Structure 1
Amino acid sequence: MATSIHITALDGVVNVNSLFTLAVFIGLAWNPRDPSNSLVSDPNCNPTSRMAEDLVAFHVYSFASFLFSSLIALGLKQAIRLNITASFHVPTRLEPVVYYVNKSVLRLGMLVSGVGSVCGCGFLMMALVNVVQIKVGTLACGSGHAYAAVIPLLILVPSALLIYASLVLYAFTR
């Protein structure tokens, strides 16, 4: 029972990471230097080249984090399945089927995978802040539209990450 729960949780991590990785690739396909992509009317609010560089860097960091997390989760899942297959034998009527899974390794792997997902979300959030600044104007310029887009992002994403990290730590201790 516990092993199937772990496999389901690892499947969830891989699926969510895949969706976020798709978002990263869509973000990387966007050209921040295309003038038709910008809605900035004030020349003083134009984004710097550093913002475009940070945008690409944060997308790459996010992709690396999601890939790391997914590979750890897939490796754990494969190890569980290989262990189940290797320990499977036809039991007699009274003998239960027992699978041996090293709980310490499983917990540590799930924790590391969770940390990779959290880091990926953080980098993706920072990339989105740069997207907003490139599209509607820099935050230093005081653009109301930029603040209207960034403030909910900076409140909701860290809140969700805090809840996720708390649940991962809770599951780690059980």
Structure 2
Amino acid sequence: MSATSVHISALDGIVNVNSLFTLAVFIGLTWNPTDPSNSLIDPSGCSAGPRIAEDLVAFHVYSFSCFLFSSLVALGIKQAARLARGAHQQDHRHFWAFDLAHVNKTALRLGYVVSAVGSVTGSVFLMLALVNVVQIKLGVLGCGTGAGHAYAAVVPLVTFVPAGLLIYVCFVFYAFTR
């Protein structure tokens, strides 16, 4: 597999993951956070206020915007790589020249970084939206003894998502320096 094919496969992966996260954002936006029958907390407990519901919607919109931006950048780079590869193939008229496109590595690397930043930012906003979902469903964090279930849900979220993002950023940085 040539370098151009690897780049195109990596860009496909970014777009596919962003598509899944975008689906999660839309599902989250269709849920009505103010529906009283959709809550798991005791009515006398620490219910989330309208500010948390507003933040939930805002974080979903920010997340969607970041994932869409990242996907569009990745698709643009992928299209440019395919066009460059096609132009190179027409010049040499050899079957094996298909994967030997001349792609501006600086532009490719910059595009990867911009797309990765969009994906990471979208993931952070999606995580923040999920924290607000937890607060609406299980009670506000920092509300005392009634927030135990909320913390039990939020702690793995804010532990594993940043850890995964750190691993992702490390691999993007590794690919960027090669």
TM-score, normalised to structure 2, is 0.93
| Matched letter for residue 109 of structure 2 | R
Question: 2-side partners of 1:103 and 1:21: how far apart?
Answer: 29
Deviations 1:79-132 (A, max 9, x none): 001111122226477x97342100000000001000100000000000000000
Code of the residue aligned with 1:107 in structure 2: it is: R
Tell me how far 1:43 sits from its aligned partner: 2.8
Partner SS, residue 139 of structure 1: coil
| Aligned residue number for residue 2 of structure 1 | 3
Q: CA deviation at 1:29?
A: 0.2
1:122-144 Cα offsets, whole Å, 9 max, x none, are 00000000000000100021311
Among 142, 153, 158, the residue aligned to 2:162: 158
C-alpha separation in 1, matches of 2:151 and 2:93:
67
Offset of 1:66 from its aligned partner? 0.2
Structure 2 residue 149 is the aligned partner of structure 1 residue 145: yes
Distance in 1 of aligned mates of 2:91 and 2:80: 21
Distance 2:167 2:91 in 1: 43
* SS of corresponding position for 1:89: helix
Per-residue CA distance 1:129-166 (angstroms, 9 max, x = gap): 00000001000213110000000001000000001011
Using the size of structure 1 for normalisation, the TM-score is 0.95
Higher deviation after alignment, 118-127 or 137-146: 137-146
Instruction: Confirm whether residue 104 of structure 1 aligns to residue 106 of structure 2.
Output: yes
Work out the CA distance in 2 between the residues paired with 1:53 and 1:92: 58
Between the two proteins, what is the percent identity of the paired residues? Answer: 65
Instruction: Specify whether residues 80 and 38 from structure 1 end up closer, same or farther in structure 2 by C-alpha distance, changes over 3 A only.
Output: same
RMSD: 1.6
The ranges of structure 1 where at least 4 consecutive aligned residues each deviate by more than 4 angstroms after the TM superposition are none
Q: Structure 2 unaligned runs (5+)? A: none
Q: Report the Cα offset of residue 44 of structure 1.
A: 4.4
- Give the aligned partner of residue 14 of structure 1: 15
Give the number of equivalent residue pairs.
173
